[in-house]
Structure formats: C-alpha cells, structure tokens
Amino acid sequence: MANELHNYPRPVHFNNREDKEGPRILRRRVDKENQTFSFFKVKPLNPIIGAEIEGVDLSKPLSTPLREELNEALLEWKVIFFRNQAITSEQQIAFAKNFGELEVHPFYNAPTGRAKEVIQFNRNKVQKGFENIWHSDVSFREQPAKAAILRLMKVPPVGGDTLWADMGAAYDNLPDTIKERIDTLQALHDFTPSFSHLMSPEELLKWQKEFSAVTHPIVRTHPETGRKLLFVNPSFTTRIIGLDEKESEELLQFLFRQTHIPEYQVRFHWEPNSIAFWDNRATQHYAVSDYYPYERLAERVTIAGDRPY
C-alpha cells in the first residue's frame, strides 16, 4: 500500500507551484532603505513592515523636520505604531492634517460631538466586528485614501489585533508569468459587496449613482517611492476588465491570497491609547474579529489620496 501511494503521479508543474517554499524577496523600500532617524527611535516588529516609534508626543504640534522624518518612516515601514498616546479626537485630527487633507467617509457617520472626518468603530456584545476581511480602505473611490490613523480607546482583555500586509512584497514575489499578465490590466472596485448591508434598497441605489464602480490598475505605482504595488482586495475588487467571469475570478482569488503569506504581514496587539498610522496605498489590513462579546472602541481619521496609476 505504501509503495502504491509513493508511486502516485506528481503534478507535471510540481516545481513551479505558486505556493512553493523557499526564499522570498523581502525589501522594505526599493528606492532607499535603512534610513536613520534623529527625532525618534524605530523598533521594528518585522523585517519589512511595521515598526513602533518611540519618543514622539502626538499631542504636540509637529515641527517640519519631525513631520518629514515621520513621513519617511511611514514610507519605509508602511505602518508605524505609537503607544501611550492619550490624545483627544481634536489632537488626532491635528496630527493627521500634517500629512494631507482629510476625507469624510461616505457611509460612516461621525459620532455625536465629533468632527465629520471621524469614524468610530464601536464593537461590543450588540455589534460584532466585521472588518475581518483584507482590504485597502475606500478603494472603491476614484481617489482612494492615502493613509489612515486609528486610535484605540477601549481594548478587549485578549484578541482584537489588526494585521497589515505589504503589497510591495506581495507584488515582488509574484511569478513572472503573472506579473506580465497583470501589469497592464485594470480591475473594478465597488463598495456594494461590503457596504450594501448597511443600506435600504433605496439608499443603495442612491449611493450606487454617486459612487459608481471605478477601475484601478491591478498594479499601481507608489507616488512617493515609485514602488510597484499589488492593488486588488477581496472587500471591494469585483472583476478584472477584459477577462471572462471565470478567468477573472480565478486570477483575483490567486491575487487575494497573496496577503495571507506571513512574511508580508505584521500583526499588532493593541493597548488603550495605541495608535496605528498606515500607508493605505502600500498595504492592506485585516481587523481580527475574535473578541466578542468584549468591547473594542476605536476612532479613525483618514487622509485623502490621489488616483492610482
């Protein structure tokens, strides 16, 4: 019996399997790397993505050189974290405005007493977390967000982590045949699969008129680093333009799976007053929904981006 199994034919392309083990291309940044920072300490959580920043007080206005260094740290590490920042909602907004104009989310209303740019995620025994799908925020917009800043106010006793994946690493490691295939393709992004459950049928029609599906390149170029990034996500990307439905779905599912590769990920464990600041162009994220019925309270402000190319 054992011999028979041993002789079971192996697939012809066994040596070209997409999920082959072995070395991966792991670069933090392609234009420059290993920058030194003079205003703060960088504590990496992973070799390529995610670092804690120590020695910055986010309640205070930023000097121009500090702001520029933080931007460089964000570009290099893609998501940077701060601990013990007991700041107000207004201070969070003021910090975010150092990096660009803020956007207002079309479907999330700001909580009472907060500026319109604030989104609150209040998850508890009534409302379970539903952000546990890989995504880049608002990729259904013509100009998806550049970056976002999330502040945790209440943290469950265990669980409630967030993961980010480096979409530059995801692109770098694709087989050449796939890179050639997707380099000039566009995909459709649509809010409907992820947000329609929050709307009545009438509201859905109204919003679909205002935010009709948009196309973005599957491979976008980072406007600040020039890096090629894989830019499709299972939350909003519905279809590849020019491919039939089956072909589109197979290719999308393969591309979506790239975020699952642990070498491209960082997982952050929150404490009250932890803050994450991520580059939404270069990453995708996934909020682990494992803490029900405990409470997890967070507020996000989002920095507007430009049209992917």
Residues that bind Fe ion (CB under 5 A): 137
Does 135 qualify as catalytic in the annotation?
yes
Catalytic residue among 123, 281, 285, 296: 285
Nearest-CB residue for Fe ion: 137
Catalytic residue among 28, 29, 137, 190: 137
SS3 of the chain: CHHHHHCCCCCCCHHHCCCCCCCCCCCCCCCCCCCCCCCCEEEECCCCCCEEEECCCCCCCCCHHHHHHHHHHHHHHCEEEECCCCCCHHHHHHHHHCCCCEECCCCCCCCCCCCCCCEEEEECCCCCCCCCCCECCCCCCCCCCCEEEEEEEECCCCCCCEEEEEHHHHHHCCCHHHHHHHCCCEEEECCHHHHHHHCCHHHHHHHHHHCCCEEEECEEECCCCCCEEECCCCCCEEEECCCCHHHHHHHHHHHHHHHHCHHHEEEECCCCCCEEEEECCCEEEEECCCCCCCCEEEEEEEECCCCCC
Does 137 qualify as catalytic in the annotation?
yes
Give the residue with the Cβ less far from Fe ion, 117 or 137: 137
To Fe ion, the closest distance from the beta carbon of 148 in angstroms equals: 7
Catalytic residue among 28, 222, 296, 300: 300
To Fe ion, the closest distance from the beta carbon of 115 in angstroms equals: 19
Does 105 qualify as catalytic in the annotation?
no
Does 6 qualify as catalytic in the annotation?
no
To Fe ion, the closest distance from the beta carbon of 211 in angstroms equals: 17
Give the residue with the Cβ less far from Fe ion, 258 or 284: 284
Give the residue with the Cβ less far from Fe ion, 32 or 130: 130
Distance CA 90, CA 21 (A): 47
To Fe ion, the closest distance from the beta carbon of 280 in angstroms equals: 8
Catalytic residue among 135, 141, 151, 227: 135
To Fe ion, the closest distance from the beta carbon of 256 in angstroms equals: 16
Give the residue with the Cβ less far from Fe ion, 171 or 236: 236
What's the number of CA atoms in the CB half-sphere (13 Å) around residue 102? Answer: 20
Give the residue with the Cβ less far from Fe ion, 76 or 137: 137
Residues serving a catalytic function are 135, 137, 285, 300
